[in-house]
């Protein structure tokens, strides 16, 4: 091993703040009965809900292919979510694998007030007023209890009601009301949602409910916190200050304003999500595919995990099989190099939750088996920065390909080395060994990563021996096959990715 290894600055940074050290005597999950490593690189994020939140169903979803689980804080109570977290943590011991939990905050959801009759019909071309009067509305007006909107609106701005089914155009703005014209009419009922796509609304990124839910999620030890309706990088910065490294931050891109400052948001976040629900409401439908491509590309170049979500297998909420268009949609996200694809109502409330996960798993396996997959995957160029760490990570991919290595192994405390290598999208699995359970759990959204929580190492030689042993134990390599090892020396120094080592396994390591 070279004796003059330098310490290079970390980029990308660790997922969240550097994870606290785990207890030295914490059980090594690799000693338990393990779940077979995935035969695919893309991760599957499954939302849990009434159809899937029992311990038995959660295990079925994991065995069907789910790598991470989403708790939607918009639905259910803390009393509903707490036992789900317990069940997932218990499943780690059953399956011998760290499991990832994402708490998705509701965000500042805008809604109109109520109507005297419960529902009104807005006629196209009619005048309609939004105001601060709490009196139940009618076909000419309704309460809008968000004063911040009146401060941000300008004449000509659009207002979208009920997921874009009704479109209003602002004519005039006053301190406490807005005069609009109905451009697309329809039936409007109590407390329907409101989208404001043309302006940045000066609202706090986290509502009072979000702060309460965030405190609960952090107490439960979730691994990721997803921020809804991010508009600007300041929204991410505020969340980071509150979270203080206790969880990683996933910014959901679902507002046109976020696209205007996408690079800044991606830089501040630990991961991003292409949240196509509200994004598809506020953007013209034809603008969503290029927006998705751009978000994935920017995230990949920055070395941030990126999740594609919403309506991926929507028809499987009620049907046992998806449409061909849905299968193609999932396949496109995988070809683009997304780190994870997500199921929402399909796994949370649908009639076929396990089948939905299994279908997504089969789609991913099929796409990644395509001989042209890697060529399409590398259509997005991720240029290495002029650092030794980036150069080593890029070289690891090339060496693994040239030598026919079976896997790339990394030993990391913060997860940064793993993220750096995954950014290169190597054609072999990524075995990530870490002494931090916190880090292992956060890696469930990282492309290609098979995380193993293991005891710390004291020397380079010990790390090499452990890498060989874990590769064999987890069926990622066999005797007489090569393994590429990437690490940082000195150990326990975040950002010191500076060693590339090639070893050949003999099969004797487990004896």
**Do 152 and 196 meet the contact criterion of CB atoms below 8 Å apart?**
yes
Catalytic residue among 13, 38, 43, 70: 70
- Is 165 a residue of the active site? no
Give the whole-angstrom CA distance, residue 434 versus residue 438: 9
CA 139/CA 121 separation, integer angstroms = 6
User: Is residue 111 flagged as an active site residue?
Assistant: yes
| Cα–Cα distances in angstroms (integers) from residue 246 to residues 54, 163, 202, 433, in the given order | 26, 34, 27, 20
Nearest to 322 by CA among 290, 285, 297, 355: 355
Which candidate, 511, 444, 430, places its Cα nearest to that of 99? Answer: 444
Under DSSP, is residue 303 helix (H, G, I), strand (E, B) or coil? coil
Stated as kind and residue range, the H or E segment containing 457 is none
CA neighbor of 500 nearest in space, from 414, 392, 390, 415: 392
Catalytic residue list contains 434: no
Indicate the SS3 state at residue 2: coil
The answer to whether the bond into 490 is cis (omega within 30° of 0) is yes
Nearest to 11 by CA among 243, 377, 267: 267
The torsion angles phi and psi of 33, rounded to 5 degrees, stand at -60, 115
Structure tokens at 443: 């890696």
Place of tokens 């290894």: 5
Closest CA to 97 of 451, 372, 418: 451
Q: Provide the 3-class DSSP secondary structure of residue 129.
A: strand
Report the alpha-carbon distance of residue 312 to residue 227 in Å, rounded: 20
**DSSP H helical segments within 451-511, as ranges?**
460-473
Question: What is the DSSP annotation of 242-283?
Answer: HHTTSSEEEEEE-SHHHHHTHHHHHHHSSEEEEEHHHHHHHS
Q: Rounded CA gap, 195 and 133, in Å?
A: 20
E runs forming strands in 246-386: 248-253, 271-275, 306-309, 340-343
What order do you get walking across the sheet with 141-143 strand by strand?
A: 141-143, 127-131, 177-184, 166-173, 158-161, 194-195
C-alpha span between 508 and 511 (Å, rounded): 5
- Establish whether 468 is a catalytic residue: no
Is the peptide bond between 136 and the residue preceding it cis, with omega within 30 degrees of 0? Answer: no
CA distance 408 to 422: 10
Q: Do 337 and 377 meet the contact criterion of CB atoms below 8 Å apart?
A: yes
- Pick the catalytic residue from 89, 111, 165, 362: 111
Give the active site residues.
70, 111, 252, 310
């Amino acid at each position: 091993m070279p004796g003059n290894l330098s310490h290079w600055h970390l980029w990308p940074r660790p997922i969240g703040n550097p994870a606290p050290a785990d207890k030295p005597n914490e059980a090594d999950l690799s000693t338990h009965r393990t779940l077979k490593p995935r035969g695919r690189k893309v991760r599957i994020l499954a939302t849990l809900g009434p159809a899937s939140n029992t311990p038995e169903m959660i295990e079925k979803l994991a065995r069907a292919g789910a790598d991470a689980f989403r708790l939607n804080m918009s639905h259910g109570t803390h009393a509903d979510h707490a036992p789900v977290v317990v069940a997932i943590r218990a499943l780690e011991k059953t399956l011998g694998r760290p499991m990832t939990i994402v708490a998705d905050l509701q965000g500042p959801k805008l809604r109109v007030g109520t109507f005297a009759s419960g529902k009104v019909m807005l006629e196209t071309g009619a005048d309609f007023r939004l105001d601060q009067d709490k009196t139940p509305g009618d076909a000419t007006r309704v309460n809008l209890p968000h004063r911040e909107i009146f401060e941000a609106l300008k004449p000509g701005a659009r207002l979208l009601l009920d997921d874009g089914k009704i479109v209003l155009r602002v004519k005039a703005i006053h301190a406490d009301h807005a005069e609009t014209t109905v451009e697309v009419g329809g039936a409007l009922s109590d407390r329907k949602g409101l989208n404001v796509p043309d302006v940045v609304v000066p609202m706090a990124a986290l509502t009072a409910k979000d702060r309460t839910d965030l405190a609960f999620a952090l107490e439960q030890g979730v691994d990721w916190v997803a921020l809804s309706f991010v508009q600007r990088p300041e929204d991410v910065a505020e969340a980071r200050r509150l979270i203080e490294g206790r969880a990683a931050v996933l910014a959901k891109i679902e507002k046109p304003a976020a696209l205007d400052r996408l690079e800044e948001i991606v830089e501040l976040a630990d991961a991003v999500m292409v949240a196509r629900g509200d994004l598809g409401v506020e953007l013209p439908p034809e603008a969503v595919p290029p927006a998705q491509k751009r978000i994935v590309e920017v995230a990949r170049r920055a070395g941030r995990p990126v999740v594609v979500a919403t309506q991926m297998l929507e028809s499987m909420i009620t049907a046992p099989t998806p449409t061909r268009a849905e299968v193609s949609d999932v396949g496109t996200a995988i070809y683009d190099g997304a780190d994870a694809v997500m199921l929402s109502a399909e796994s949370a409330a649908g009639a076929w939750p396990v089948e939905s996960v299994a279908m997504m798993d089969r789609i991913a396996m099929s796409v990644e088996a395509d001989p042209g997959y890697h060529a399409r995957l590398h259509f997005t160029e991720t240029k290495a920065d002029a650092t030794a760490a980036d150069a080593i990570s890029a070289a690891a991919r090339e060496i693994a390909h040239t030598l026919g290595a079976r896997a790339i192994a990394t030993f990391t405390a913060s997860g940064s080395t793993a993220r750096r290598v995954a950014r290169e999208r190597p054609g072999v699995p990524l075995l990530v060994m870490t002494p931090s359970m916190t880090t292992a759990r956060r890696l469930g959204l990282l492309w290609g990563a098979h995380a193993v929580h293991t005891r710390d190492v004291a020397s380079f030689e010990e790390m090499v021996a452990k890498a060989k042993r874990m590769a064999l134990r987890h069926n990622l390599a066999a005797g007489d096959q090569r393994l590429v090892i990437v690490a940082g020396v000195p150990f326990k120094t975040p950002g010191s990715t500076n060693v590339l080592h090639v070893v050949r396994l003999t099969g004797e390591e487990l004896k």
